[in-house]
A and B are shown apart, each in its own frame.
Chain A
Amino acid sequence: MNFPILTTALLAPVIAALVIVFLPREEERLAKSIAAIGTGISLLISIYVYFAYDTSVGGYQFVDFGQPIPWIPDLGVTWYMAVDGLSLPMLLLTNLIGFTAVFASWNVKERAKELMILLLLLIAGVMGTFIAQNLFIFLLFYEVVVIPIYIMVIIWGSSKRVTKEYAGMKLTIYLLIGSAFLLVGVMAIFAKALDITGIPDMSFEGLAQVAFPEQFQIYMFALLLIGFGTLLSMWPLHSWSPDGYAGAPTAVSMIHAGVLKKIGGYGLIRFAIYVFPLGAKFWAPVIAVLGVIGVAYAAMGALAQKDLKYLVGYSSVSHMGYVLLGFATLGLIGVNGAVAIMFAHGVMAALFFSMVGFIYEKTHTRWIPELGGLFQNAPKLAVGFMLAGMASLGLPGLVNFLPEFTVFIASFKVYGILAVIAIAGIIITALYILRAGANSLFGPARPEYKDVKDIRGPEMVPLVVLGSVLVIGGILPSLLFDMINSGVEPLMAHVNDILQMGGGR
């Protein structure tokens, strides 16, 4: 019987939220500090688990209570909290971003108590998806995150180009309709598996052992692809993403772009590809094409944006195209790269959104032509912005370079010309990132911004924490890649076994 360390990490934010519920309204600072402590505990636990995980052994480790605890027997649901090399980077990412998101909202004055409660619930929900190794519990957390986000967008969001009500509702409805398809799939899968084996089991491992017929796999994979693809902002299901991020408050944009989107990618590899290899093989070319269209289309879209949040929003859609391309190779290297991109992009996007958030807080505009010369007054802010920008365009030495490079190598072998188009996307990325940086940060100082204060105190936390991860991950990529490889290798070995049998099961 192990100490349930992962459940503890999951509950820390929930308990912090409960404590905050009983605070008086005026105690905003205290509420924020408690939120920071709650997320801090989860962050420390995930760092500890990340480094204590034995990559040479691999597989599920830190299984809470030592084994799955029966939860809903007739649905085959167990409380199965464990991590492997695939879950761990995502868990770490969640808590890095969760912790820094609290500090990115440090200056929120209006109803700060409620914001912290919802933020903590959101973080707990996202964390749950990555450590639950049972499909049902995964789904529970998957959908639980949608409602706090909606409330956060409509209360603390901003109505610049679209109203926050529109942004919030668009985001919510898109994700929910996507998840409806996912749910249809899951129900059919559960019923079919029960039919075939006679034992209700919804753990990922258990489902992967069921011999689903090929036609069924193809059908179900399509449903899962719609569900997870919507969340991953796969073209053409991406249009919630730029609007949603633009309307959302900083903390939500950070978590959403940084880690929530990645649940889509995580679900694809952990569930869709792992359980339905034959379906994955059938749809892989489609995924690749959609991914590449996403890269090119969203990069072009970003090029046309004058609003910083829209720019980062489109850029994140574009990066998700690389993730899809990596998955579509259905090979160890490509999937490794895709998972690594999910981590790297998460850190980068969170830093980017927090910096954009601070720029907006201090200048009251996100409109690039109205900005300029911020570097003069706010050098630290500018450093953070440029660091995220450089990571986004894949500068070697930062964490994003190697994952993208890996995906390019792997996908060039399989898809040739498609990979070339995707690589060309990098050039456009460089163009819009550098242009945005130049226009908003550099150049002569503008008189209207001469009183702008640089970030300091708690505001520095996102820059320091996320920035150092970007650099450390860039210098020591093996920290990330060894971990991911130990998780992806057994999954892909299983997939390849089945593919080699050629559907003979």
Chain B
Amino acid sequence: MHIDYSLLSTEIALAILGLIVFTLGLTLPSRSTNRGLGAFAIFGLLIVLGITVSFWGTQAELLAGMYLIDNFSVFFKILALVAAILIVFGTMSYANNNLSRQLEYYSTIIFATLGMIIMISAGDFITLYIGLELMTVSFIILVAFRKTDGHSLEAGIKYLILAGVSSAVLLYGLSLIYGATGTVYILELAELVTAGTISPLLVFGLVLLVAGFGFKISAAPFHMWAPDVYEGAPTPITAYLAVGSKAASFAILVRVFVGGLAGMQEQWATLLAVLAAISILLGNLVAIPQTNIKRMLAYSSIAQAGYIMVGLLTASPEGIKGVMFYAFIYLFATIGAFVVVCAVYEKTKSDEIASYAGLSQRSPLAAAVMLISLLSMAGIPPLAGFVGKFYLFTTITDNFMWLVYIGLIMSMVSVYYYLRVALVMYRDEPTDPTPIKMGAAVNVTLIIAMVATLVLGIYPTPLSELSNIAAQSFFTW
């Protein structure tokens, strides 16, 4: 059988990059490498991003459907790479000052990205699981990276145990589906599973699958790990968990449910709708009393997962397009917020919301980016989140009107806790009025995040058309 390895150039390049970064870290003297290693990683990731972009428009399968390359997967790969680049770039000084040994740090981030990318392109359950585990194991290392910090270790242990359990559940579900249908290929599954062939075994497997993926996207009631892990992990890793891990998991969720199990849409749509509703309600309500900004963002990311799930319910191109659009704009908002969290932490050594007092005077840019990012998550126009929610929720007004009510009312409620941060930043006088100086890299990242959130809110057409094309390619298999 002839295998066209060039189709894998993104993955190969990324694996090589990870190994080079790792070796460089080992061989070069440690003190001087720190900064250089990060810069090198970004440089390499940019090249990989370039390679990935060149795949736009390719529609091919590898190894008889084990690996799928289409615009849908390229879109999510670009998303994962952009997230990795922006996070590494914006938090390099945080990493230099707060994380001791970085040679594993950057290479592990690259391997986590590789895991995401494999998962995004997975065409069968085995590849899916390999990608998922590569990503998860890398994240376990990264979450516990601050070895002297009890919180970080606690978060690492929690993530390890819970991720292990969820993997087991997921595997069990996958094996049941294999048992019921006799195939692990997602495209074959689409032909085998139709309304007439649904068996209790299949339904049980489906439920386990929802539980397993629900953990990865931190949807309620499988969200328990998120607040503790988000709080304990080093902030750049929290950001990457919130953006990259979540987006990649959504990609595979869409692939398996909409691509493979479309015949069971009736079964899973209601289930996902209920989970989305619980996530939106719980995430937004529990975020209200939080005093730690990372915990607050963790609960808000649970709610965001709920919003994105809405796009799956109709199994239509419009819905998938909404998922992709929202995932991309959520990236900018989340990275903007977390890079500010990093910058503030460097100065104040605190993640409490109270330590943001007077931020608008200490660093107007950081305060503005934080405000814009939070309001975009809340879906206030003219920021990108508004258009994103519009795309998502217009798809379900026919069948799930009750969810539209919950989603929109709760997103207005979320303004309450987002604005409390604004209150502290803009009204309160700073306890320490010295300005917060941020490096050029941080400033550039913040400006990119802010401009993207604003521009895509006012003129979303370019991204909307890209996601439209990508969503179409998903349905042409």
Are A187 and B390 in contact, with the CB atoms below 8 A? yes
CB-contacts of B462-477 with A (<8 A) = 464-465, 468
A393 to B414, CA, bound (A): 41
Given contacts A151-B422, A180-B409, contact A72 B460 (CB under 8 A): yes
Instruction: Give the residues in chain A near B427, CB-CB below 8 Å.
Output: 154-155
Are A191 and B419 in contact, with the CB atoms below 8 A? no
Instruction: Give the residues in chain A near B386, CB-CB below 8 Å.
Output: 140, 143
Are B381 and A140 in contact, with the CB atoms below 8 A? yes
A146 to B380, CA, bound (A): 9
Are B387 and A72 in contact, with the CB atoms below 8 A? yes
Distance between B383 CB and nearest chain A CB, rounded to angstroms: 9
Are A191 and B397 in contact, with the CB atoms below 8 A? yes
Are A154 and B380 in contact, with the CB atoms below 8 A? no
The bracket for how many chain A residues form the interface is 20 to 34
Are A143 and B419 in contact, with the CB atoms below 8 A? no
Are B393 and A169 in contact, with the CB atoms below 8 A? no
Is B238 located at the chain interface by the 8 A CB criterion? no
Distance between A366 CB and nearest chain B CB, rounded to angstroms: 22
Is A147 located at the chain interface by the 8 A CB criterion? yes
Instruction: Give the residues in chain B near A176, CB-CB below 8 Å.
Output: 412, 415
A147 to B371, CA, bound (A): 10
Is A184 located at the chain interface by the 8 A CB criterion? yes
Q: How many residues of B contact A (CB 8 A)?
A: 35
CB < 8 Å: which of A154, A180, A184, A191 contacts B426? A154
Chain A binding site: helix, strand, loop or mixed by DSSP?
helix
A141 to B381, CA, bound (A): 7
List the A residue with the shortest CB-CB distance to B419.
A150
Instruction: Give the residues in chain B near A136, CB-CB below 8 Å.
Output: 390
Distance between A426 CB and nearest chain B CB, rounded to angstroms: 37
Query: Of B152-160, B186-194, B327-335, B400-408, which stretch is located at the interface?
Result: B400-408
CB < 8 Å: which of B405, B413, B458, B468 contacts A184? B405
A172 to B422, CA, bound (A): 13
CB < 8 Å: which of B408, B422, B459, B464 contacts A180? B408
Instruction: Give the residues in chain A near B413, CB-CB below 8 Å.
Output: 173, 177
Are B461 and A191 in contact, with the CB atoms below 8 A? no
A181 to B409, CA, bound (A): 7
Is A455 located at the chain interface by the 8 A CB criterion? no
List the A residue with the shortest CB-CB distance to B405.
A184
CB < 8 Å: which of B401, B459, B465 contacts A188? B401
Query: Which of A140, A169, A183 has most B Cβ within 10 Å?
Result: A183
Is A383 located at the chain interface by the 8 A CB criterion? no
List the B residue with the shortest CB-CB distance to A165.
B423
Are B398 and A191 in contact, with the CB atoms below 8 A? yes
Given contacts A72-B460, A74-B464, A74-B468, contact A169 B409 (CB under 8 A): no
Are B461 and A173 in contact, with the CB atoms below 8 A? no
Are B461 and A73 in contact, with the CB atoms below 8 A? yes
Are A177 and B419 in contact, with the CB atoms below 8 A? no
Instruction: Give the residues in chain A near B409, CB-CB below 8 Å.
Output: 177, 180-181
A154 to B371, CA, bound (A): 15
Are A173 and B415 in contact, with the CB atoms below 8 A? yes
Instruction: Give the residues in chain B near A154, CB-CB below 8 Å.
Output: 423, 426-427
Instruction: Give the residues in chain A near B415, CB-CB below 8 Å.
Output: 172-173, 176
CB 8 Å contact bits of A133-155 with B (1 = contact, 0 = none):
00010011101101100110011
Instruction: Give the residues in chain B near A169, CB-CB below 8 Å.
Output: 416, 419
Is A179 located at the chain interface by the 8 A CB criterion? yes
CB 8 Å contact bits of A160-181 with B (1 = contact, 0 = none):
0000010001001100110111
Instruction: Give the residues in chain A near B426, CB-CB below 8 Å.
Output: 151, 154-155
Is B267 located at the chain interface by the 8 A CB criterion? no
A150 to B411, CA, bound (A): 17
Given contacts A144-B380, A187-B390, contact A172 B419 (CB under 8 A): yes
Is B443 located at the chain interface by the 8 A CB criterion? no
Is B382 located at the chain interface by the 8 A CB criterion? yes
List the A residue with the shortest CB-CB distance to B457.
A140
A147 to B457, CA, bound (A): 16
Are B390 and A75 in contact, with the CB atoms below 8 A? yes
Distance between B454 CB and nearest chain A CB, rounded to angstroms: 11
A143 to B465, CA, bound (A): 25
Instruction: Give the residues in chain A near B181, CB-CB below 8 Å.
Output: none
Is B375 located at the chain interface by the 8 A CB criterion? yes
A-B contact pairs, 24 of them (CB 8 A): A72-B387, A72-B459, A75-B390, A140-B382, A143-B386, A144-B380, A144-B382, A146-B380, A154-B426, A165-B423, A169-B416, A173-B412, A173-B413, A173-B415, A177-B409, A180-B405, A180-B412, A184-B408, A187-B393, A188-B401, A191-B395, A191-B397, A192-B397, A195-B398
9 more contacts with CB within 8 A, not counting A143-B386, A155-B427, are A143-B380, A144-B380, A144-B382, A169-B419, A173-B416, A179-B412, A184-B408, A187-B393, A191-B394
